[in-house]
Amino acid sequence: MVFLRQEEAMNSVIPCTHCGRLFAPDPRVKNQRYCGEKDCQRARKRKWQKEKLVNDPDYKANQRACQTDWHGRHPGYYRKYRREHPDCRKRNNLLQCWRNAKARIIAKMDESKPGPVNKPGAFYILPLVAKMDESPQKVLLIPIVTIRGGDCKRGLDSFGQ
């Protein structure tokens, strides 16, 4: 590990771990790796929380208790959300089918069935796991839906647009 004098540290620039842009780290913050942009700070916090949930059982129990309390104060929230956002519900249903298929891994040797005919449009292409002589081109097509007034809680369709 290289230690820099305070003057050198103040003049150095490093790439942000999240966005890759160069920034001058604050000399008061030891081992700063993220710039001050809002998205980068959000990514830093998300990473910290994810690590904390894995490594700290007390933190995980507290988060679970808070979530349970919130559900108690907001009964029917998810039912109402799904009713008001049918596109999100449909997309989630397709993604859940993909996760279920991935978990089961039930493809059989030499099994080939014609797929459903889809309307033209934009799709997410997700590979399915297959065994032995299965076609490596087998995919699950999930329609990309445009949500007006919402983003499916920052789901797949909010990235890359």
Residues 48, 22: one domain?
A: yes
Question: pTM for the complete prediction?
Answer: 0.50
In the chain, the number of structural domains is 2
Same domain, 103 and 156: yes
Domain-embedded: residue 80: no
* pLDDT band per the 50, 70, 90 thresholds, residue 98: confident
What pLDDT, in 10s, does the model give residues 70-93?
999 999 999 999 999 998 988 898
* CA atoms of 40 and 136, how far apart (whole Å): 37
Q: In this predicted model, what pLDDT tens digit does every residue of 2-51 receive, in sequence order?
A: 455 555 555 689 999 999 999 999 999 999 999 999 999 999 999 999 99
Domain closes at, from 33, 53, 75:
75
51 shares a domain with 16: yes
With beta carbons less than 8 A apart as the criterion, state whether 14 and 23 touch: yes
Same domain, 63 and 102: no
Q: How far apart are CA 46 and CA 40, in angstroms?
A: 10
Residues 34, 52 within the same domain: yes
Amino acid 75: pLDDT: 95
- The answer to whether 131 and 107 are in contact (CB under 8 A) is yes
Mean pLDDT to the nearest integer, 115-125: 60
Q: Say if residue 35 is in the same domain as residue 68.
A: yes
Same domain, 67 and 98: no
**Amino acid 114: pLDDT:** 59
Which of helix, strand or coil describes residue 158?
A: helix
- Domain limits at 53? 1-75
Q: Which of 31, 100, 36 is nearest to 92 (CA)?
A: 100
